[in-house]
Structure 1
């Protein structure tokens, strides 16, 4: 079914809109899936190929050169009377923040898995990200035409590693090179794609597969009946489920997250994409099917909500900013209301009004102008000059502050400087634009060396950012050796520390008296500490000895103290502070005095709390020929890696280990040399672990 891209916001009602993301581990084939969707729906007239550098969504030169997705790209297409707004997300762990921002604004997603590798490390990471935002998913097991492809093994890895109930609705016809189609277990029909042809042929289930298909359908029906009350009632009464009941139950199970529908195919060979689109329309939610968006609580404690209704006041969330050559594009998910060209919007958090000059439907690097955007849309705006990713844009007369996406803390830093001294100011502008587009990047000036330091999520992330400066801004820059971001944490408790802050210099003075206990949070000094909880502040003061406003000031002061630890000036994490007592002065006590006292009291406590250094570690999965396992194990041990598992399959072995991130710089080249180019590895953040003595000091 080939249809033209809709060019006006009002073509599809809200019930016929699907806002979807494509999620996967790197090289699982999600960009190829996206390209086939665009081709089949008429969004493109030629199939784009990753290996040829002709894809629509991977349009950046670096993406085409490296053969990976780096930047989330939005496209729109039309299928069976439904508009599908699709975001192709990166699969590499260094660009997980792009995935996070995309998931925040999506109603559903398709998780793509390699039929040979099954669930890979980054697959787990993106799955957990989707869990955090409650995004319903379908699973698509791709590359069934590859040697070693095994649908059952991939499904088993979904069950065991993702801790969900896979509901397999298709049975492959043929295997590896002989894979030609699938049996649809819901309708009990065969779907076959002939070699070299695009047409899908539908027919009866092949005789040689009928028994297996009936057995698989029975398993599907039983699993669905266990998860859906309505299906269970019909199953108990008749011993079977009708097609309508099965579809309705799968839809409800998918939306609730109780299970995941699993489809299969080969995107490269154009097999399995039409059923995937049909499943997305049938099972994944429309904007009307998700709960109303909730804003920040009002002063009286009520939590405002805004339904997906074009008649409601406008509310949208900025999830991406792109400084294109033609101007600044602000990507917005519209949650409620209607927006027209020329209208003004309030950036709620910043308190600034932005004017919308144009509204665009985005097709990767191409755009189609709209006269308006309505609830449920994903569009790009031209006009807003300062709205950042995570900002809420709202109708000026009805502000609503939405929760922004979580931004991960950078773990790797490099020093960046312009080769020519005259380009220093241009470099500052280029770095500011980079940070505007990618909030997971941070720029600071090292107080000791005066160098400009760029921090990001990994070595590749920073490498791509530096190359972007060179290409987009025409700047020659030199980049230093990567350095990891260490943390500090106390290893023992300090009880009853007394700190008195008294200052008198004429006029009103400052007075605050505190007694605090400081202790490490459980697990903060162990391998795998995430660093997500920096401070757990509590107060046990009774009798009003310290007023509540001063207690809050002490907590703020403690947070100030975490910026720089006593060991090496690194940020402090994993601290529990309990305010046990205090005293005030009727005239000289103030919030400022207690905040200052809190800062200095915690600093003093940390100096006596045996602070230890933490370094970021990564979970590494290395796939190598069996004969190279010994050398790889020895190399990982030399890199201070902790081996956690080893599995073998078809002449190859996969070794998993936890390795300090600092030891992984340059590992890709070393692994290729050790395995004659046959070894590959993936890594994902695994938190922090205690670092050896003498590491990370300044």
Structure 2
């Protein structure tokens, strides 16, 4: 329920009794509404397309300076995530640290400042951690035979047995993941039931959760379940799922992993007299220069550069240009850098 209605002008708010079409207003009291939701009259339902959000590409370990602020920090982080869908809070399974992820250094700095200023939570942060993805270097094919005897509480043994053969192949950047789970079935004349067919696709999906190089999530590859071998009642959906997952992991390891880093579409503005030094510095960061444009005394450089090589770049840029340089960046894609 809307408690109050305001018209907003910069940092000034003026209370209103009503708003008409075309006005930009602030609604207070919407406890359960989040960014991207559509508000409408109950008698005239309307659903507008949500804002497209990107996956976060940079993370910072974050913790309260005082353990007494732990619950307060969790509530504040939850509120920030409701307002900004590109912010994510995750827990590192290896270290147990809480990681705040966003779209870049500035994005995370602003989130940290809001925690201090608006929610009165003092925090400690770690070093930036750039999110990576993986793909495979080539095509490969592998098989696996899964066989286990599991002892049941009643003393009986449950046999699980199934075989699978899987092929993997790389795809173009941005193509995503393609899984073909329509295999040949051995022995001939036997068909997969719906549960077994779902298990074959699920096994391939399980194996794609981590790549062979760094354990990052995989993308831009095709997985094809070529063949499965069934052994009667022993080939339960669970057994088949494990067999397909093992075969997929073997094929991925044979294909070899490639690390994909976030590539940022970057615009650098620098005085014309300092362009040579700025270009040299960008090339040392392995940036791909796309074009340069001169506008008065300033030159605009458009380039693609890996995010991990732009951490702290604003300090170096200002040093090279005596404080006159600036840059902006937006996420473009995950790619080999």
Give the shorter-chain TM-score range. 0.7 to 0.9
What's the offset of the Cα at 1:644? Answer: 1.4
Q: Secondary structure at the match of 1:482?
A: strand
CA contact (8 A) 1:510 1:590 kept: yes
CA contact (8 A) 1:508 1:587 kept: no
CA distance in 2, matches of 1:680, 1:604: 47
Q: 1:428 to 1:504 in 2, by over 3 A?
A: same
2:197 equivalent to 1:519: no
| Match runs of 1:183-222 below 5 Å | none
Match of 2:22 in 1: 84
Within the candidate set 421, 428, 447, 2:67 is matched to 421
CA contact (8 A) 1:545 1:582 kept: no
CA contact (8 A) 1:498 1:514 kept: yes
What's the offset of the Cα at 1:476? Answer: 1.3
2:119 equivalent to 1:469: no
What's the offset of the Cα at 1:519? Answer: 1.1
| Match runs of 1:264-283 below 5 Å | none
What's the offset of the Cα at 1:412? Answer: 0.4
2:96 equivalent to 1:450: yes
Q: 1:431 to 1:411 in 2, by over 3 A?
A: same
What's the offset of the Cα at 1:85? Answer: 5.4
2:242 equivalent to 1:604: no
Q: 1:55 to 1:585 in 2, by over 3 A?
A: farther
RCO (CA 8 Å, sep 6+): is it higher in 1 or 2?
2
2:139 equivalent to 1:493: yes
Normalising by structure 2, what TM-score?
Answer: 0.83
What's the offset of the Cα at 1:417? Answer: 1.1
Q: Secondary structure at the match of 1:409?
A: coil
Match of 2:290 in 1: 644
CA distance in 1, matches of 2:69, 2:53: 30
Match of 1:374 in 2: 44
CA distance in 2, matches of 1:617, 1:653: 22
Runs of at least 5 residues in structure 2 that lack an aligned partner in the other structure: 152-156
CA contact (8 A) 2:225 2:244 kept: no
CA contact (8 A) 1:445 1:451 kept: yes
Match of 1:505 in 2: 150
Within the candidate set 237, 256, 276, 1:591 is matched to 237
Q: Deviations over 1:41-72 (max 9, x none)?
A: xx86xx94xxxx54559xxxxxxxxxxxxxxx
2:101 equivalent to 1:433: no
CA distance in 2, matches of 1:581, 1:328: 52
CA contact (8 A) 2:130 2:308 kept: yes
Q: Secondary structure at the match of 2:33?
A: strand
Match of 1:536 in 2: 178
| Match runs of 1:186-585 below 5 Å | 328-330=31-33, 332-334=37-39, 338-339=41-42, 374-376=44-46, 406-495=52-141, 497-506=142-151, 507-521=157-171, 523=172, 529-530=173-174, 533=176, 535-542=177-184, 545-585=191-231
| Match runs of 1:26-37 below 5 Å | none
CA distance in 1, matches of 2:148, 2:80: 44
2:303 equivalent to 1:657: yes
CA distance in 2, matches of 1:549, 1:470: 51
Match of 2:264 in 1: 618
CA distance in 2, matches of 1:640, 1:690: 11
Q: 1:55 to 1:604 in 2, by over 3 A?
A: farther
What's the offset of the Cα at 1:375? Answer: 3.5
CA distance in 2, matches of 1:581, 1:377: 44
What's the offset of the Cα at 1:551? Answer: 2.8
Normalising by structure 1, what TM-score?
Answer: 0.42
2:280 equivalent to 1:634: yes
Match of 1:289 in 2: none
What's the offset of the Cα at 1:484? Answer: 0.8
More strand by share: 2
Runs of at least 5 residues in structure 1 that lack an aligned partner in the other structure: 1-6, 8-42, 58-75, 89-321, 340-372, 379-402, 524-528, 692-698
